[in-house]
Structure formats: structure tokens, C-alpha cells
């Protein structure tokens, strides 16, 4: 299934049904009188988050959603049938954002959440409503009230406990494949990962979800490379695992570049708990690796791990730390970032 994390859709709730104009014609009822019923209420537009979905691809092919109109009233004071509500199912982690791209309308962070985004129009009154002592045969009725309509953006932010980040070719996908059930693409060239990937880590009788996003380069916040579009998928992560390629030309400089892009993006990403690890340790001389580890620890102000996803050396220690932090972290609070639809 293709991955799609944002889509624009049109919504319209149902219009209310018109009231009826009717008069009784009954045997043994001397004067009869008005008996036109009210119109039925239009259908609502309802969103519900469901488990098992991780893409908005369905909204690429169906972009217009309209709830049913309410039925008209009838004689004998019969109220028109209410229009059927339209239920739209979205993945957990979906945000509904106004067409302006800034206003958050709904944020689904758990399965089973449901919200009425657009209420259907009320039905109009029939002529029975207008009868009075001075108006005994009203021919007046009320049309149904119109429903609401709008365009909205859906934006998906995958929910994960730990998020992988780093420069392109830092070994993120290789690590994800090594410790989870994921099958992320791996290649000896930059930007092998073109979309977020999720995997479930099972470690020491615990399970947690790990997310991998495309690599960041200098200027990502301004759209360079793949840009920072996918950073939204790690906004809700409890901890970040920052991989730095130990075999690269300037590992410390690349670490600082990625940190600068996190700060430029905002949304608290640069304040999240972070584990720093030098990846591809098997490709570097141990003495050089030790010096690099010490230098990076000084720059980052944190303990620096070394690991090799290819040989699994050092991976256990990183997983132990992830389990420790994920276990004590509180559930993240989602926010909304002003963004530009593409």
C-alpha cells in the first residue's frame, strides 16, 4: 500500500428537510385543521480514528464527502426521516486542519476517538407549527436549514515511542531492519528512505514502536533535499535516537547540522530526550572511534553510544537505554505546526 500523509478533502453535511403544508380530512372531525409535519435533520459529518491504518491513500481517490439530506415532513404530523450521518475513518495520529493550514480542528491520538466535525442542518417547521387562535389555516412552512461545508486538510503524524533521525546514509534503515519486523529499503546512496517507516521492537519482554524518517541535510527547514516535511512524524515520539555516521567526513559537524534543523523546525523537537549513537562503528578504526566518541560527547553534552547494525555490536546497550526512557516517559502531547500543503 502506498504511503500518503496529507490530503485535502471537501466536506458537506446534509441539509435539513422542508416542513410540510397539509390539512386533516377526517370523518367526524368537523373542522379539520393543519397537520403538516416538520422536516428531518440532515446528516452529520463524523470522523473516527481506527487502528490498523497508517496512510491517507484512500483520500487521494475520494475527495468529496457529502452527508445525506433530511426528508421532508408529511401530513398527519409526520416528521421527515433524518439524513444518514457520514462516518469518515482515519488513521490514529491524523490531524484535521482548516483550509488555511493553521487552525487545528481535531487531533486523533487514540483508537476509537470520534468527533462531529460538521453538524447537519435542522429540519424546517410544518404548517402545524404556525397554527394559532388567529391563524387557524396557515399555509406557511419553513424550508430546511442548510448544512455546513468546508475544505480541510488531513495530516497524518505517525505515533511511535522512539524516532530515528540523522543525516542521509547514517544507517537508520539498517538499524530499523535489524531490531524490528520492518523491511525498509537500504542502499549505498543518500535518501534511500523516501517515506516514514514503522517497526515494532521486541526487547526483554517489552515492545515499543520505532519510526524512521528520511535523512536531514543542511537547509532542510527551507526545503533542501526532502526537506523537513516528515519531521511531523516524530513530534509525538517519547525519545529520539540520533544516529551519526562514524565513517563520514565530519560526523560532529553533521550532528550539529541535524540539531540546527530540529531547532529551525521547532515544535519542541530540539528539547526532546535524545540518545546519541555513532553508527557503522565496524567501519572505523577503534582508536579513531574512541576519539570521535569523546569529541561528540563534549559537543552534545550527552553519553555517546557506538553501534553497528550490520554486526549488531553495541545495539543491545542502545535498546536497553531506549526501554529505560520509553518506560518512564509520559505520553507525548501533540501539537500543530503551521505548514504549507504540497
Residues annotated as binding site for Mg(2+)? 173, 193
**β-bridge pairing 94-98 and 239-245:** unpaired
Neighbours of 19 (CB within 10 A): 28
3 state DSSP class of 189: coil
**Contact by Cβ (8 Å): 230, 205:** no
The rounded distance, in Å, linking the Cα atoms of 241 and 276 is 6
The conformational region for residue 5 under phi > 0 = left, psi -120 to 50 = alpha, else beta, is alpha
**Contact by Cβ (8 Å): 164, 172:** yes
The rounded distance, in Å, linking the Cα atoms of 180 and 208 is 10
List the Cα angle 12/13/14 in 5-degree steps: 120
Largest Cα separation within the chain, whole Å, is 108
Cell, residue 76? 398527519
The rounded distance, in Å, linking the Cα atoms of 45 and 39 is 19
Annotated binding site: 173, 191-195, 212-215, 279-282, 308-310
Strand partners, 206: 203
Backbone φ, ψ for residue 265 (5° rounding): -70, -40
The rounded distance, in Å, linking the Cα atoms of 184 and 159 is 18
Cell, residue 306? 557506538
Query: Quick one: DSSP state of residue 297?
Result: H
Annotated binding site for GTP: 191-195, 212-215, 279-282, 308-310
Backbone φ, ψ for residue 25 (5° rounding): -135, 85
Amino acid at each position: 500500500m502506498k504511503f500518503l500523509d496529507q490530503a485535502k478533502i471537501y466536506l458537506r453535511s446534509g441539509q435539513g428537510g422542508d416542513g410540510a403544508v397539509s390539512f386533516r380530512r377526517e370523518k367526524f372531525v368537523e373542522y379539520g385543521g393543519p397537520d403538516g409535519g416538520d422536516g428531518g435533520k440532515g446528516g452529520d459529518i463524523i470522523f473516527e480514528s481506527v487502528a490498523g491504518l497508517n496512510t491517507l491513500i484512500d483520500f487521494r481517490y475520494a475527495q468529496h464527502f457529502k452527508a445525506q439530506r433530511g426528508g421532508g415532513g408529511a401530513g398527519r404530523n409526520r416528521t421527515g426521516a433524518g439524513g444518514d450521518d457520514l462516518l469518515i475513518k482515519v488513521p490514529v495520529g491524523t490531524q484535521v486542519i482548516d483550509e488555511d493550514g493553521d487552525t487545528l480542528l481535531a487531533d486523533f491520538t487514540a483508537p476509537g476517538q470520534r468527533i462531529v466535525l460538521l453538524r447537519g442542518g435542522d429540519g424546517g417547521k410544518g404548517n402545524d407549527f404556525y397554527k394559532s387562535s388567529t391563524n387557524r389555516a396557515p399555509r406557511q412552512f419553513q424550508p430546511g436549514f442548510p448544512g455546513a461545508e468546508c475544505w480541510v486538510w488531513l495530516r497524518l503524524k505517525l505515533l511511535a515511542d522512539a524516532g530515528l533521525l540523522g543525516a542521509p546514509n547514517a544507517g537508520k534503515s539498517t538499524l530499523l531492519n535489524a531490531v524490528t519486523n520492518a523491511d525498509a529499503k537500504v542502499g549505498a546512496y543518500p535518501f534511500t528512505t523516501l517515506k516514514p517507516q514503522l517497526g515494532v521492537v521486541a526487547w526483554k519482554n517489552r515492545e515499543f514502536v520505532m519510526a524512521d524518517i528520511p535523512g536531514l541535510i543542511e537547509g532542510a527547514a527551507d526545503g533542501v533535499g526532502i526537506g523537513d516535511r516528515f519531521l511531523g512524524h516524530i513530534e509525538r515520539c517519547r525519545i529520539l535516537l540520533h544516529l551519526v555516521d562514524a565513517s563520514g567526513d565530519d560526523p560532529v559537524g553533521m550532528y550539529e547540522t541535524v540539531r540546527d534543523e530540529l531547532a529551525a523546525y521547532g515544535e519542541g523537537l530540539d528539547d526532546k530526550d535524545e540518545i546519541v549513537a555513532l553508527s557503522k562503528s565496524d567501519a572505523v578504526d577503534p582508536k579513531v572511534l574512541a576519539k570521535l566518541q569523546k569529541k561528540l560527547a563534549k559537543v552534545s553534552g550527552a553519553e555517546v553510544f557506538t553501534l553497528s547494525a550490520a554486526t549488531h555490536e553495541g545495539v543491545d546497550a542502545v535498546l536497553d537505554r531506549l526501554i529505560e526512557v520509553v518506560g518512564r516517559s509520559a505520553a507525548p502531547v501533540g501539537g500543530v505546526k503551521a505548514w504549507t500543503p504540497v
